[in-house]
């Protein structure tokens, strides 16, 4: 029987993005909620990979489908790579991104262009039906801007300027962002890994 992919996230935006990227695997992608799995997961890992795997393993206890999870964050070099794995929790989980983004811009006041380097990092973890575990990681390099720009995307996108595009990731279309983003590239790598293990889920 053909297996589904259960994505361990409550974020509908992520599931939509992931469905687009994984479309050519020809498998149904459902969220935890759609799979009827409602659990609270404590992300207490020290790396993106550990956190992604904690989420994937937790959900894999409840299903024989392929389970995937991601963990991502923004590393600002002039802030010692903060907020990093704490990106969602930076200044408090419920603080608006207008405030979080404003604070990062403020902390970089007086920092020259070439020292405003930053990257988004994403790790994807998968647990296969036979409980084999896989992880992939990818990044996108950019610079912290001087003001928020763009309405697309979410989180830190309005202050993440990508020199090749001359735009922030909030000014890219969904398709453009998926092609170059940390999450898009990490998922592409995971797709290649999964194709190697096709025997375990087809």
- Return residues touching ligand IMP (CB under 6 A): 70-74, 87-88, 120, 153-157, 169, 181
Comparing CB distances to ligand IMP, the nearer of 4 and 185 is 185
CA 95-57-7 angle, 5° bins: 60
Spatial contact of 60 and 131, defined as CB atoms under 8 Å apart: yes
Q: Considering the complex, state which of residue 30 and residue 73 has its C-beta at the smaller distance from ligand IMP.
A: 73
Q: Which of 24, 65, 70, 71 is catalytic?
A: 71
Q: Among residues 113, 138, 110, 111, which one has the least CA distance to residue 124?
A: 138
- Smallest separation, CB 67 to ligand IMP (Å): 16
The alpha-helical segments, DSSP class H, found in 61-181 are: 97-107, 174-180
Cβ nearer to ligand IMP, comparing 22 with 201: 22
Q: How far is the CB of 2 from ligand IMP (least distance, A)?
A: 28
Element (H, E) at 195: helix 182-196
The distance of closest approach from Cβ of residue 194 to ligand IMP in the complex, given in angstroms and rounded to an integer, is 20
**Residue whose CB is nearest to ligand IMP in the complex, by number:** 155
Alpha helices per DSSP H over 96-170 = 97-107
Q: Clarify whether 71 is annotated catalytic.
A: yes
Active-site positions read 71
């Amino acid at each position: 029987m053909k297996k589904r992919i259960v994505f361990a996230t409550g974020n509908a935006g992520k599931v939509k993005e992931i469905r687009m990227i994984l479309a050519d695997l020809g498998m149904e992608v459902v969220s935890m909620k759609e799979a009827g799995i409602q659990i609270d997961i404590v992300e207490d890992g020290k790396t993106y990979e550990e956190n992604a795997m904690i989420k994937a393993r937790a959900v894999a206890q409840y299903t024989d489908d392929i389970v995937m999870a991601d963990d991502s964050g923004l590393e600002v070099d002039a802030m010692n790579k903060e907020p990093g794995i704490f990106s969602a929790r930076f200044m408090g989980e419920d603080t608006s991104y207008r405030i979080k983004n404003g604070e990062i811009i403020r902390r970089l006041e007086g920092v020259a262009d070439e020292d405003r380097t930053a990257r988004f990092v994403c790790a994807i973890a998968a647990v296969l039906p036979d409980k084999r575990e896989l992880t992939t990681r990818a990044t996108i390099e950019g610079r912290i801007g001087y003001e928020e720009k763009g309405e697309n995307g979410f989180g830190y996108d309005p202050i993440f300027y990508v020199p090749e595009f001359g735009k922030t990731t909030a000014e890219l279309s969904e398709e453009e962002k998926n092609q170059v983003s940390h999450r898009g590239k990490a998922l592409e790598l995971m797709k290649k890994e999964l194709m190697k293990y096709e025997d375990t889920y087809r």
